[in-house]
Amino acid sequence: MQANRDTANWADLVLLNANVIALDAAHPRANAVVVSGGRIAWVGDSDRLPSSVRVSANIIDCGGQTLIPGFIDAHCHLLAYAASLLAVDCSSASTSEIDDILSQIRRRADSTPRGEWIRGTGYSEFDLREKRHPTRWELDRAAPFNPVRLNHRSGHACVLNSIALERVGIDIATEEPPGGTMARDLISAEPNGLLLDMDEWLDVRIPPMSEGELRDGMAQANRQFLSQGITSIADATVSNSPDRWKLLRRLKCDGLITPSLTVMPGAANLDEFADEGLHFGYGDSVATIGHAKIILTSSTSGRLHPSPDELRHRIDLAHRHCSPVAIHAIEKEAVLAASTALMASRIPGLRDRIEHASECPPEAMDALLRAKPVVVSQPSFVRDSGARYLSEFGEDARWLYRFRMLAESGIVLAASSDAPVSVPSPLMSMHAAITRETDSGAELNVGESVTVAQALEMHTNKAAYAIYREDEVGTIAPGKRADLVLLDADPTRIASERLLDVRATMTIIGGELVWQA
């Protein structure tokens, strides 16, 4: 496809000798791309490209490597991810029992001034020999003079030591906040330090990172995104407020967030956004306002928070703000309730989303297919937590992460990392979606695997649709923003097990080379 102007006069960048997977029906395969003004100007075969372009523009010889649209992470948590990169690593890569966690915390405490917060991250009781969470009293032994917050890998639980509990105002008489759970000692009824689904409650009671920590962590996070070929990100943090919007914009303006940025407001904060003239779709070259985020959880007894009536109220409120919603729904009861509420509150033209949609037995799946939201899920959870799923769900594991059913039923299915819950690595995520392989080597519900082409689309053009940017990014086509990633192998032409070995060698955002191996 040729643009109207003389290519030789306006080309800023020409990529030659590339195996181009454009994901665009007009030219699904090509070997050359021309960029002008930060956008794709021409895609095709190099033998049809005017020879004068080769001397009038910046030329990159791709050496036969594969050029694809930049990856899009449609659901992550930027500040939490930045904080996790500075925290004590308590993941299964570093710990196998509670004593290992305590040793890691103790080492950090030895170099931390008394009274300052220590943060650990990444533990999972399933991966520990004891098959349980640490307690406040165990963390006290490791750091008797510092408040400690140890975050679970899921992002929905944490353990605080005694000093930390005192700092945030939790004692035996403290009532649980709506939707939250404080685990207690069975004999004394004292809180044992384990807190479930209380992040929003804690965030206003625990000091944020210092400016130096924030900038250091965000710089590390940014490098990870770019090195993985991620060119657009959406922050899906439910506590996003106008102040958080301004903070993320500042970090973006300071060069600490290079990918294109979409910020999803917490649905509870929409009135505050409106008071400042901010609404869904508002955006500029720095950032864009995305879906309104709602958290819907189900207790072990099946009780929903918020209730179905309150959920419907929150959806209707967002819709009155002309904002689509993105509903966190993991458990089958939550997926069913979210789908039912969206059917009742459907507004033509608004693309509501369900995040995760992890458990989908027939009743939940039927409701989901009737509601037809965009689904943004996390294939990497199959890899990271698949062994636990197989152990805990047994036969019901067949209803987990039903990617094939969703994709083949006409649902727009996009992928994301949910970082810091999983590492932002689209190629690792693709591998999990295709193979359904867990980190233990077992397979989780392999009947729900998708094709390589489907997995690639989940991380590119489908994710672009999920964040309302399909006209800008997600394919390599004239007029689109020049967000591109060069890979050292063609994921569509290698064995699926080799996907874990594929590496990004170059990342381009808006026509600018922002990362190179």
Residues 6+ apart with CB under 8 A from 335: 329, 354, 357, 358, 359, 360, 364, 367, 368
- Token pair 């520990």 is at which residue? 128
Partnered with residue 462 across adjacent β-strands are none
> What value does the mean pLDDT take over residues 200-217?
95
> What value does the mean pLDDT take over residues 263-290?
97
pLDDT at 317 exceeding the cut of 80: yes
Q: What is the pLDDT of residue 5?
A: 42
- Report the chain's mean pLDDT, rounded to a whole number: 95
Burial class of residue 362, CB neighbours in 10 A (0-12, 13-18, 19+): exposed
Cα distances from 288 to residues 170, 172, 233, 301, 511, in angstroms, run: 37, 43, 11, 38, 20
Higher pLDDT, 176 or 3: 176
Angle between helices 242-253 and 211-227 in degrees, nearest 10? 70
- The pLDDT-based confidence of 189 (bands split at 50, 70, 90) is very high
In the chain the domains, ranked by start, together with CATH numbers, are: 1-70+476-517 (2.30.40.10), 79-203 (3.10.310.70)
Closest CA to 140 of 122, 166, 121, 174: 166
Q: What is the pLDDT of residue 3?
A: 36
Cα distances from 59 to residues 13, 32, 51, 62, 513, in angstroms, run: 6, 11, 12, 9, 12
Angle between helices 362-371 and 332-344 in degrees, nearest 10? 30
pLDDT at 2 exceeding the cut of 60: no
pLDDT at 197 exceeding the cut of 70: yes
Angle between helices 380-393 and 426-435 in degrees, nearest 10? 40
- The pLDDT-based confidence of 302 (bands split at 50, 70, 90) is confident
Q: Dihedrals φ, ψ of 460, to 5°?
A: -130, -95
| Window from 6-10, 166-170, 174-178, 444-448 with minimum mean pLDDT | 6-10
Higher pLDDT, 2 or 136: 136
Q: Kindly give the pairing relationship between strand 484-487 and strand 504-509.
A: antiparallel
pLDDT at 118 exceeding the cut of 80: yes
Closest CA to 265 of 207, 324, 211, 218: 324
pLDDT digits (tens, 9 = 90+) for 32-71: 999 999 999 999 999 988 777 766 679 999 999 999 999 9
pLDDT digits (tens, 9 = 90+) for 384-426: 999 999 999 999 999 999 999 999 999 999 999 999 999 999 9
Burial class of residue 139, CB neighbours in 10 A (0-12, 13-18, 19+): buried
> What value does the mean pLDDT take over residues 177-184?
93
pLDDT digits (tens, 9 = 90+) for 469-489: 999 999 999 999 999 999 999
Q: What is the pLDDT of residue 4?
A: 34
Cα angle 368, 372, 373; round to 5: 95
pLDDT at 381 exceeding the cut of 80: yes
> What value does the mean pLDDT take over residues 327-349?
97
- CA end-to-end distance (rounded Å), the chain: 31
pLDDT digits (tens, 9 = 90+) for 147-161: 999 999 998 899 999
> What value does the mean pLDDT take over residues 93-106?
97
pTM above 0.85, yes or no: yes
Instruction: Give the three-class secondary structure for 197.
Output: coil
Q: Kindly give the pairing relationship between strand 181-184 and strand 157-160.
A: unpaired
Q: What is the pLDDT of residue 53?
A: 76
